[in-house]
Amino acid sequence: MPLSMYDASVTVFLHNLNQLSHLLDKGLAHASATGIDPATLVGARLAEDMLPLSAQINIASDTAKLAAARLTGIAAPKYEDNETTFAELKARIAKTREWLQGLTRESFAASEERPVSFKAGPTELNFTGQGYLLHFALPNFFFHVTTAYDILRHNGVPIGKRDYLGRA
């Protein structure tokens, strides 16, 4: 059976959002165990010109839901991007996962060739569905999931490759 666009998108997003939630659990546990204010981790950055952990979570969430929306033509929910605690970030991930779980394989029919166009800053980007998923959405999603991992790891959270990958 060939790999479907649903399997290449939704199942990947669901698994990795689950792992992102797991990483947040480990971050909060570390903060509690070491006396670090959890808000310090939520606002932590790898570099001054990079976005904080909270934004990395928000963008990963947005990338997953917007990718599915663009591939199916089903409107994605809008979130305010105002999360400031671990609990709020985990709730956002849970809402995104719940929305993705409501999508059907059938809603991705013919999405490989569906035109996908949107603005990224001043630039208009145009793709086929498959090109968009493989060359923009998945790389962008993993950039932000990885950056969230890196922020936590850089701040002493005891996480490793198994925490990032989880189980398939």
Segments of the chain assigned E as strands? 115-120, 123-128
Cβ atoms 41, 53 nearer than 8 A: yes
pLDDT value of position 10: 98
Cβ–Cβ < 8 Å for 83, 92 = yes
User: Which pLDDT score, from 0 to 100, does residue 2 have?
Assistant: 83
Q: What's the rounded Cα separation, in Å, for the pair 27 and 37?
A: 11
Bridging pattern class, strands 115-120 and 123-128:
antiparallel
pLDDT tens track, the chain, 168 positions:
689 999 999 999 999 999 999 999 999 999 999 999 999 999 999 999 999 999 999 999 999 999 999 999 999 999 999 999 999 999 999 999 999 999 999 999 999 999 999 999 999 999 999 999 999 999 999 999 999 999 999 999 999 999 999 975
What confidence score (pLDDT) does residue 88 get? 98
Count structural domains, the chain. Answer: 1
CA distance 167 to 88: 25
Task: Determine the pLDDT at residue 56.
Answer: 98
| pLDDT for 168 | 52
Residue range of the domain that includes 22: 5-165
- Could you tell me the CATH number of the domain that includes residue 20? 1.20.120.450
